[in-house]
Structure 1
């Protein structure tokens, strides 16, 4: 973790915190930067909705997203405990026995992960979710890495709360609910693109993100247009093809 990379990450996160920012895109940016800056293998973010229920808002990979969904469906696991206790939770190995969460540990191991660190997203006494870091290797992340990770979680929490009067909890609930509703639209749009362009779900999501950035539109708005069929599908195909060529190894 170089100081230059770390500084660039925080500058990018801070630069995104402008008026009327897109919380869903911001959460995905945070998840991606956790992977590249902290050198973990995947990251996921859970936020609480206006009913007090945790929801998956962002993940750096489908494996991490499905694992987070499994935990929420079973209503137990390290990430949920992190949110409920507002304290970090570490699982240094998913293969050690006995396990506190045997079903979650088994699914995490099957997904290829060896360890997990869950960090609370909180500001003072208010906890809005959890930032979860997955590694393929077993073991505990270093203290400096965990301090940086918590700082990134704190920045994200401040970003969610910045435009709200913290004492008015109803306003926060509205913003979080909007983010969660946008997440549903994005998942639907991913399915539409995957079918129309014959690409996998990960590439469909990356296509949505690149299109939204290049056209300076909210990710949720692009998703709505895809679902409604009012977007130029040929333009999206160009974005998807460009992404494919960028990832193709040099001959």
Structure 2
């Protein structure tokens, strides 16, 4: 992954100068790389690695929101998983707030921000985390993941950094959503192949037509409360239906 093209200049009063054209070029390059990565976890890994370069943060992570229990999808530092898990287990904290409110949460200084549970603040300070940004990735009016940025310095991200972070979040939203869709389609194709093979075994062994063979698989799936593809896989592996 290439480093971000932001240039740090003297500017007025020593403020950083952002080369917007270079940033745009880097995001164009990122979009191409994300398209070629393939895989949900690999895509998330590419996003957080780019965040390290583009925003000079200490560490970054992605929390996948699926089902009742969000899962860590990518992280550049073990500390992130600890902070995520603490909030998920307690069902409160800044990342939970970002998910529920569907809005960005910015903590400029963990040491002085009193909005969050004492346990989370203590853990963040113990891990030498001072600045935190959580950006929800929203697909179809629903938060599907959260991109998180951390720094060991207070007030680490200025307005330009946050603008870049929001652009990165939009790229990440599209890339991760596409990767998940492709993974779902791949699983569906794989399941159809397994069911087709299992049907072929039943048709040959019991002289059934395709319709009856599928009904047999479906009946076993319902009676044993198992996924159709799992029943098909067991039949292929053992050459017999589940007991």
Q: TM-score, normalised by structure 2?
A: 0.61
Alignment partners' CA distance in 1, 2:183 and 2:103 = 22
1:19-51 CA-to-partner distances (Å, cap 9, x unmatched) read: x811101101111111111111111111112x2
- Tell me how far apart the structure 2 counterparts of residues 22 and 163 of structure 1 sit (CA, whole Å): 6
Match for residue 15 of structure 1?
33
Judged with a 3 Å threshold, the aligned counterparts in structure 2 of structure 1 residues 119 and 97 are, in CA distance, closer, same or farther, namely closer
In structure 2, how many angstroms separate the alpha carbons of the residues matched to 1:67 and 1:100?
Answer: 13
Aligned partners of 2:175 and 2:184: how far apart in 1? 15
Cα 1:6–1:113 shift into 2, 3 Å = farther
Following superposition, the deviation at residue 52 of structure 1 comes to 4.0
- Matched with 2:64 is 47
Is there any run of 5+ residues in structure 1 with no aligned partner, and where? 165-170, 178-251
Q: Could you say if the C-alpha distance between residues 172 and 34 of structure 1 is closer, same or farther in structure 2, counting changes exceeding 3 Å?
A: same
Aligned to 1:192: none
Mark the CA change 1:12 to 1:101 in structure 2 (over 3 Å): closer, same or farther.
Answer: same
Does residue 132 of the first structure (1) align with residue 148 of the second (2)? yes
Moved >4 Å (runs of 4+): 171-175
- The corresponding residue for 1:121 is 137
- Superposed CA RMSD in Å reads 2.6
- Find the counterpart in structure 1 of residue 98 from structure 2: 82
- Distance apart, 1:62 and its partner CA: 1.1
Which is higher, the Rg of structure 1 or of structure 2?
2
Q: 1:66 aligns with which of 77, 82, 99?
A: 82
| SS class of match (2:144) | strand
Instruction: Tell me by how many angstroms 1:10 deviates.
Output: 4.1
* Structure 2, unaligned runs of 5 or more: 1-5, 8-18, 188-243
Contact 1:118 1:131 in 2 (8 A): yes
Is 1:37 the equivalent of 2:54? yes
The TM-score with structure 1 as length reference comes to 0.60
